[in-house]
């Protein structure tokens, strides 16, 4: 060992310094680092203060469960049916029970202990994800210390436990969807597997079995994870790894315990479902089968004279039998699952979470793509080949390779689909520390320590500081600058809640009276923040209803669907749609197997070389760009059934408002008898924030002198930055004389489909 290393034991060898003072000093440094990490996990909470109400949460899955959580608290029990996520369809709450029960029971316990607390119920549970993320960071610090006994690597791991993009995806404040629990359970199980390979024990295996039980009761996709574990176990066997036997023993024991405890819970609850997407016996049997598979592999591994060739043959037969049975028993579910995981469905492929995080096809043309990897995975991303082929022996010795291998595996999955990045937990911090540790080791190996240690320390600092700063920049700013709900949306949601009729079924069991239509990726925000039902949500429930209405090519068609689905309001937020988007709408709504509620995967879709549809001819374009007043496509006349009742604030007259809210109304029917063949004209000035539009309707009387015009706007309307003149201006010919007058129409007449005789109701001002 070189002289420089002997002078730098702090970083490179097990601590042999027994002095109490130095130990306390090390503990103090580590304590400061982990407390700083804890504080930074709450930084998005502090960054959003002072609060705009509670509207900083934008994650759609968290918003869905916040609504379930709130409705369950208000109704006194966990809701069994959801009337607010796919109105007017009803969706059963088939999520596994632990996650929501955990949130509810903890809240009830809190208010039992603190009955006088006025803390918002959301804040009672909002701290859980940051704490879970921090605990994952502590696991990595624990691993670094136990595996290497190196204070330097341990401190570096604590330093790099700064939350970044991955932490934001999973552990930010109020991100209370089940993903934070999934990641915590996965990370805990992997740490326990490493510890078991290091020091086998019944207590570790039993604790892992309890973790598996909670994991199964949290996520219906647990068989997917344990399938990955099975593949990894086979990999260890084929590599003849020294940890193959303890890993198989650990996995088998934990899965047996988890499956048995889950089965007992299902028997107690009387649940006998075998559905793949539900918490039920399918999951028990698959995890139990995986445990039996591991036990068989363990038995074969320890059996003398059993060759690798025999092992591969048996495994191949078992996999073939299992795959054949699965495809015969659950063909549709498996195809749909593959479509979801691979995002082959053309609509699913538009979801950013299911897309690759790095565009490798443009890696050379856009080097920024490469640095995205550093932002996501930490500094360890830049030394992945080194860690794969020349790993530091001590760090990944024995069971330590489990942490390395799964980090690699999760990185590959995340490169394939961003949603898997959540499973990385706090691993990027550990591997950033390892990358920096390797760099520091290299510097100290090459350097020559002298009596002037402060000079040497200065040189090391000059080299290291940029990397420390880079590690910070790649993480923390990405954490606090992530997306929040915009001010315009906050205002719009508040306005809707305060100015639209309250619906039944939110605070107490019941059926809602109407729903709001927005784009599918706005559904969970609308239903939670406005406490109103939505026709389509972020799980794509109700996608066909949205496609039918927004792609309609006439007002009559759109109004027919709005009436069918009881869509009273339409939420339009500025977005870039195009002809390809409408092609997908038309494809999906014309699928015979597509239902109004659940989403149906599309297989083997071949997009036309040139778009067939035209966005400019659709109902959505008419609402978003023409205020349902100006003509486009077959929308020749201004709307008869749709009116703007709210507009967000415009920066200037040339910029469209971010949010418009339309109301589907019965409209007041204006009729009368005028001279045959004469023209009837009715108009009113409408003001939408900074823009004025003339709503003008014309009709030609028939041979008997009759005409009909349906109007959606009341006169003198003043709400939501929408104003209409105090009266309609009317013009018609009666007995050969043109009459000019004023027509007053109330809100009650618009909403109640009043029939108004123009000749009697109009106040003539000029003959």
pLDDT in tens, 540-575: 999 999 999 999 999 999 999 999 999 999 999 988
Across 35-49, 311-325, 398-412, the highest mean pLDDT is recorded for 398-412
Q: Is 77 exposed, middle or buried (0-12, 13-18, 19+ CB in 10 A)?
A: exposed
Residues 6+ apart with CB under 8 A from 174: 54, 56, 57, 62, 66, 122, 125, 126, 129
Residue 451 predicted with pLDDT over 80: no
Q: Are strands 679-688 and 668-673 parallel, antiparallel or unpaired?
A: unpaired
pLDDT band at 8 (very low <50, low <70, confident <90, very high): very low
Tokens 């609504």 belong to which residue? 67
The Cα 717–Cα 749 span in angstroms is: 13
Look at residues 711, 571, 716 and name the one whose alpha carbon lies nearest to residue 646: 571
Half-sphere exposure of 347 (CA within 13 A, CB side): 23
Q: How far is CA 15 from CA 12, 145, 436, in A?
A: 9, 10, 19
pLDDT at 15: 47
Containing 742, the helix (H) or strand (E) segment is: strand 737-743
The Cα 219–Cα 102 span in angstroms is: 13
Residue 564 tokens, joined: 């069918």
Residue 357 predicted with pLDDT over 90: no
Report CA torsion sign: 211, 401, 414, 221.
negative
Residues 6+ apart with CB under 8 A from 189: 208, 211, 212, 215, 254
* Neighbour count for residue 668 (Cβ, 10 Å): 27
The Cα 401–Cα 194 span in angstroms is: 8
596-613: average pLDDT: 85
Find out whether 141 and 30 touch, Cβ atoms under 8 Å.
yes
Half-sphere exposure of 649 (CA within 13 A, CB side): 7
Please report the beta strands in 72-204, taking only residues with DSSP state E, as ranges in sequence order.
81-82, 91-92
- Supply φ then ψ for residue 700, to 5 degrees: -105, 125
182 φ/ψ sector (left φ>0, alpha ψ -120 to 50, else beta): alpha
As a dihedral over the C-alpha atoms of residue 648, residue 66, residue 39, residue 411, rounded to 10 degrees, the angle is -100
Residue 449 predicted with pLDDT over 50: no
Residue 684 tokens, joined: 């009113």
Report CA torsion sign: 539, 542, 544, 549.
negative
SS3 508: coil
Residues 6+ apart with CB under 8 A from 364: none
Find out whether 643 and 712 touch, Cβ atoms under 8 Å.
yes
Residue 744 predicted with pLDDT over 60: yes
pLDDT at 331: 63
The Cα 454–Cα 373 span in angstroms is: 35
Residue 65 predicted with pLDDT over 80: yes
Q: How far is CA 551 from CA 340, 428, 579, 623, in A?
A: 25, 44, 10, 11
pLDDT at 725: 96
SS3 642: strand
Beta pairing partners, 683: 696, 729
pLDDT at 308: 62
Containing 550, the helix (H) or strand (E) segment is: helix 543-550
pLDDT at 12: 41
8-18 b/e (C-beta count within 10 Å ≥ 16 → b): beebbbebeee
The Cα 31–Cα 156 span in angstroms is: 13
**Comparing 35-39, 175-179, 338-342, 504-508, which segment has the lowest mean pLDDT?**
338-342
pLDDT at 14: 45
Residue 575 tokens, joined: 């977005």
SS3 readout for 649-715: CCCCCCCCCCEEEEEECCCEEEEEECCCCCEEEEEEEEEECCEEEEEEEEEECCCCCEEEEEECCCC
**Comparing 265-279, 397-411, 747-761, which segment has the lowest mean pLDDT?**
265-279
Residue 599 predicted with pLDDT over 80: yes
The Cα 763–Cα 742 span in angstroms is: 5
More confident position, 242 or 726: 726
CA angle 224, 228, 231 (to 5 degrees): 140
Please report the beta strands in 490-623, taking only residues with DSSP state E, as ranges in sequence order.
515-517, 567-573
Residue 433 predicted with pLDDT over 90: no
pLDDT band at 194 (very low <50, low <70, confident <90, very high): very high
pLDDT band at 335 (very low <50, low <70, confident <90, very high): low
Q: Is 129 exposed, middle or buried (0-12, 13-18, 19+ CB in 10 A)?
A: buried
Q: In what order do the strands lie in the sheet with 668-673?
A: 706-711, 668-673, 755-757
Q: Are strands 659-664 and 642-647 parallel, antiparallel or unpaired?
A: antiparallel
Average pLDDT of the chain to the nearest whole number: 84
Q: How far is CA 24 from the centre of its chain?
A: 43
Containing 480, the helix (H) or strand (E) segment is: helix 453-480
- Kindly report, residue by residue over 669-678, the tens digit of the pLDDT: 999 999 999 9
pLDDT at 277: 73
Residue 625 predicted with pLDDT over 80: yes
Above pLDDT 70, what percent of the chain?
80
Containing 643, the helix (H) or strand (E) segment is: strand 642-647
* Neighbour count for residue 232 (Cβ, 10 Å): 17
Q: How far is CA 441 from the centre of its chain?
A: 40
**Comparing 76-90, 228-242, 627-641, 645-659, which segment has the lowest mean pLDDT?**
228-242
Find out whether 532 and 65 touch, Cβ atoms under 8 Å.
no
């Amino acid at each position: 060992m070189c002289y420089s290393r002997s002078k730098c034991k702090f970083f490179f060898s097990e601590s042999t310094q027994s002095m109490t003072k130095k130990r306390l000093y090390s503990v103090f440094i580590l304590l400061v680092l982990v407390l700083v990490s804890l504080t930074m996990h709450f930084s998005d909470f502090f960054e959003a203060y002072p609060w705009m109400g509670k509207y900083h949460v934008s994650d759609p899955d968290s918003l869905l469960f916040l609504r379930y959580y709130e409705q369950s608290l208000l109704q006194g029990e966990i809701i069994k049916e959801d009337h607010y996520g796919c109105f007017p369809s009803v969706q059963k709450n088939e999520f596994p029970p632990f996650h929501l029960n955990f949130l509810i029971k903890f809240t009830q316990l809190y208010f039992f202990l603190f009955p006088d607390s006025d803390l918002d119920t959301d804040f009672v549970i909002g701290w859980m994800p940051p704490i879970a993320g921090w605990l994952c960071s502590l696991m990595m610090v624990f691993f670094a210390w136990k595996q290497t006994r190196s204070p330097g690597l341990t401190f570096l791991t604590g330093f790099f436990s700064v939350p970044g993009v991955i932490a934001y995806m999973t552990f930010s404040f109020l991100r209370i969807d089940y993903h934070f629990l999934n990641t915590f359970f996965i990370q805990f199980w992997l740490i326990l597997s490493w510890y078991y390979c290091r020091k086998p024990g019944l207590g570790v295996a039993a604790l892992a079995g309890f973790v598996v039980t909670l994991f199964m009761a949290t996520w219906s996709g647990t068989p997917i994870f344990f399938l990955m574990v099975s593949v990894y176990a086979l990999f260890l066997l084929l590599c003849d790894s020294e940890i193959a036997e303890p890993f198989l023993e650990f996995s088998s024991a934990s899965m047996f315990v988890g499956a048995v405890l889950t089965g007992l819970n299902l028997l107690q609850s009387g649940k006998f479902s075998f559905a793949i997407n539900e918490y039920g016996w399918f999951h028990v049997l698959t995890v139990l089968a995986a445990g039996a598979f591991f036990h068989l592999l363990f038995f074969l591994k320890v059996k003398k004279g059993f060759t690798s060739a025999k092992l591969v043959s048996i495994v191949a037969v078992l996999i073939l039998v299992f795959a054949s049975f699965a495809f015969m028993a659950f063909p549709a579910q498996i195809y749909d699952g593959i479509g979801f995981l691979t995002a082959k469905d053309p609509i699913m492929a538009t979801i950013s979470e299911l897309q690759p995080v790095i565009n490798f096809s443009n890696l050379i043309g856009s080097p920024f793509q490469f640095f995205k990897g550093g932002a996501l995975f930490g500094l360890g991303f830049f030394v992945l080949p080194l860690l794969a082929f020349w790993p530091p022996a001590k760090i990944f010795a024995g069971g330590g390779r489990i942490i390395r291998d799964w980090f690699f595996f999760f990185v590959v999955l995340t490169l394939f689909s961003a949603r898997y990045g959540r499973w990385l937990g706090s691993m990027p911090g550990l591997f950033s520390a390892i990358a920096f540790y390797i760099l520091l080791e290299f510097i100290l190996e090459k350097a020559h320590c002298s009596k002037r240690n402060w000079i040497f320390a200065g040189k090391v600092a000059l080299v290291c500081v940029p990397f420390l700063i880079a590690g910070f920049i790649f993480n923390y700013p990405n954490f606090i600058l992530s997306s929040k709900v915009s001010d315009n949306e906050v205002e719009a949601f508040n306005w809707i809640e305060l100015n639209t009729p309250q619906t039944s079924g939110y605070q107490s069991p019941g059926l809602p009276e109407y729903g709001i239509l927005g784009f599918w990726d706005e559904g969970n925000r609308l239903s939670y923040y406005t406490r109103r039902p939505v026709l389509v949500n972020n799980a794509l429930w109700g996608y066909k209803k949205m496609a039918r209405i927004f792609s309609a090519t006439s007002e009559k068609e759109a109004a027919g669907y709005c009436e069918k689905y009881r869509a009273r309001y339409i939420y339009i937020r500025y977005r870039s749609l195009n002809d390809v988007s409408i092609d997908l709408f038309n494809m999906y709504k014309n699928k015979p197997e597509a239902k109004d509620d659940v989403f149906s995967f599309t297989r083997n879709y071949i997009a036309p070389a040139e778009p067939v549809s035209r966005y400019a001819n659709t109902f959505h374009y008419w609402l978003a760009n023409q205020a349902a007043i100006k003509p486009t496509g077959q929308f020749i006349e201004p709307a008869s059934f749709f009116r703007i009742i709210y507009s967000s604030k415009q920066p200037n007259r040339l910029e469209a408002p971010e949010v418009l809210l339309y109301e589907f109304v019965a409209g007041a029917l204006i009729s009368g008898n005028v001279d045959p063949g004469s023209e009837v004209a009715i108009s009113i000035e409408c003001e939408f924030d900074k823009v004025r539009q003339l709503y003008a309707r014309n009709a030609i009387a028939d041979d008997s002198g009759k005409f009909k015009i349906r109007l959606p706007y009341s006169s003198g309307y003043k709400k939501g930055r929408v104003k209409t003149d105090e009266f309609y201006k009317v013009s018609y010919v009666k007995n050969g004389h043109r009459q000019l007058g004023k027509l007053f129409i109330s809100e009650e007449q618009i909403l109640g489909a009043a029939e108004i005789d123009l000749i009697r109701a109009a106040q003539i001002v000029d003959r």
